[in-house]
Amino acid sequence: MLKVDSLSKRFDGVQAVRDASFNIQQGTVTSLIGPNGAGKTTLFNMICGYIKPDGGTVHFKGKDINASPPYAIAAMGIGRTFQNLRVIKMLTVLDNILLSVPDHQMNGILGPIFKVLRKNSELGCREKALELLDFVGLREKADDLAGSLSYGQQKLLSLACCFALEPSVLLLDEPVAGVNQEMIINILTLIRRLKETGIAVFFIEHNLGAVMEVSDRLIVMDEGSIIADGIPSVVREDPAVVEAYIR
Amino acid sequence: MDYILHILIMVGIYSIVAMSLNLLAGYTGLISVAHAAFYGIGAYTTALLALKVGLPFWINIPAGILVSGAVAFLIAWPSLKTYDDYFVITTFAFQIIIFSIMNNWVSFTGGPLGLPGIPQPTIFGITISSHLFFLSFVVAFGILTYMFLTRLVNSSFGRVLKAIREDEIFTMSMGKDVMKYKVSVFVIGAAIASIGGSLYAYYISFIDPTSFTIMESIFMLSIVIIGGAGSLRGSIVGAALLIFIPEILRFIGMPNSIAANMRQIFYGGLLVFFMMFRPQGLLGEFAFGKSGHKEPKEVRKNA
**Mean pLDDT of all residues in B6-24:** 96
Per-residue pLDDT tens for A37-86?
899 999 999 999 999 999 999 999 999 998 899 999 999 999 999 988 89
Q: What is the DSSP letter of B53?
A: I
Question: Is residue A231 helix, strand or coil?
Answer: coil
Per-residue pLDDT tens for B30-56?
999 999 999 999 999 999 999 999 899
Is the separation of the CB atoms in A161 and A96 below 8 Å? yes
The residue ranges of every structural domain in chain A are 2-246
**Mean pLDDT of all residues in A154-166:** 91
Per-residue pLDDT tens for A55-69?
999 999 999 998 899
Higher-confidence residue of B185 and B252: namely B185
**Burial (CB count within 10 angstroms: exposed 0-12, middle 13-18, buried 19+), residue B129:** exposed
| A2: phi then psi, degrees, rounded to nearest 5 | -115, 120
Q: What is the DSSP letter of A106?
A: -
Q: Mean pLDDT check: name the lowest of A65-74, A122-131, B67-76, B174-183.
A: A122-131
DSSP H or E segment with residue A79: strand A78-80
Binding-face residues of A in 9-68 toward B, CB within 8 A: 48, 50
Per-residue pLDDT tens for A162-192?
889 889 999 999 999 888 999 999 999 999 9
Looking at beta carbons, which residues of chain A come within 8 Å of B151? 116
Q: Mean pLDDT check: name the lowest of A30-39, A103-112, A202-211, B119-128.
A: A103-112
Contact status of A82 with chain B (Cβ, < 8 Å): yes
First to last CA, chain B: 33
SS (H, E, C) B166-179: HCHHHHHHCCCCHH
DSSP H or E segment with residue B42: helix B35-48
Please tell me the predicted confidence (pLDDT) of residue B83.
Answer: 85
Looking at beta carbons, which residues of chain B come within 8 Å of A86? 167, 169-170, 173, 293
* Mean pLDDT estimate for chain B: 89
CATH number of A2-246: 3.40.50.300
Looking at beta carbons, which residues of chain B come within 8 Å of A143? none
Which chain A residue shows the shortest CA-CA distance from B166?
A: A88
d(CA A95, CA A161): 10
This model of the complex carries an ipTM of 0.90
| A206: phi then psi, degrees, rounded to nearest 5 | -100, -20
Residues 6+ positions from B58 with CB-CB distance below 8 Å: none
Which chain A residue shows the shortest CA-CA distance from B174?
A: A100
Pairing outcome for strands A55-60 and A2-11: antiparallel
The residue ranges of every structural domain in chain B are 2-213
Q: Quickly state the pLDDT bin for A118 (edges 50, 70, 90).
A: low
d(CA B146, CA B20): 9
Write the DSSP assignment of B115-162 as a string of letters: EE-PPPPEETTEE--SHHHHHHHHHHHHHHHHHHHHHHHHSHHHHHHH
**Mean pLDDT of all residues in A125-141:** 90
